[in-house]
Structure 1
Amino acid sequence: MRVELMKSMNRHYVLEMMYISKDGTISKRRIEVLQVGEVSFRVYCYLRKSNRTFTIDNVLALVPVIPSERMVI
């Protein structure tokens, strides 16, 4: 999971993340990774509109958000 976080940080990808908190609550968030450490990582969370810190081991899934392109003909 750490490798995927590093790649998205270096490429400035926005990700959809499924995360389980300490109390067992599962949340889905749209994030942009700012910094990756050994056990945690800092992100900008679009849900809360602020910087947040998460534990890498609690991440259930990461999926890159692909911006839709519109073609005008």
Structure 2
Amino acid sequence: MKEQLMRAMQRNQLVDIIYVAKDRSITKRRIKIIAIAGNTLQAYCFVRHAKREFKIDNILAITPVIHRERVVI
């Protein structure tokens, strides 16, 4: 899991995560990872429109966001 997060950070790629919050609710977040330190990561959360800190152990799933460009000819 941590390796996928590191790769996403190095590629400057957005990811969708399924996350268990402090109140034990499950949320889906779209984030851009800023830094990873120990067992936490700092990221910009597009749902909350703010920088947030996430515990890596609370991340259940990671999916890279893929933007497909359309070409008009």
Identity of aligned residues (%): 41
What are the within-5 Å matches in structure 2 for residues 1-73 of structure 1? 1-73=1-73
Counterparts of 1:3 and 1:67, CA distance in 2: 22
Q: Which amino acid aligns with 2:20?
A: I
TM-score, normalised with respect to structure 2: 0.95
Which deviates more, 49-58 or 18-27?
A: 18-27
Cα RMSD of the aligned pairs, angstroms, is 0.8
Note the C-alpha offset of 1:22.
2.5
Give CA-to-partner distance per residue, 1:1-21, whole Å, 9 cap, x none: 111111111110000110011
2-side partners of 1:3 and 1:49: how far apart? 25
Structure 2: stretches of 5+ with no match in the other structure? none
Report the Cα offset of residue 37 of structure 1: 1.2
Structure 1 unpaired stretches of 5+: none
User: Secondary structure of the equivalent of 2:41?
Assistant: strand
Post-superposition Cα deviations, 1:5-46, rounded to whole Å, max 9, x if no partner, equal 111111100001100112210000110000001110000000
TM-score (norm: length of structure 1): 0.95
The size of the alignment, in residue pairs, is: 73
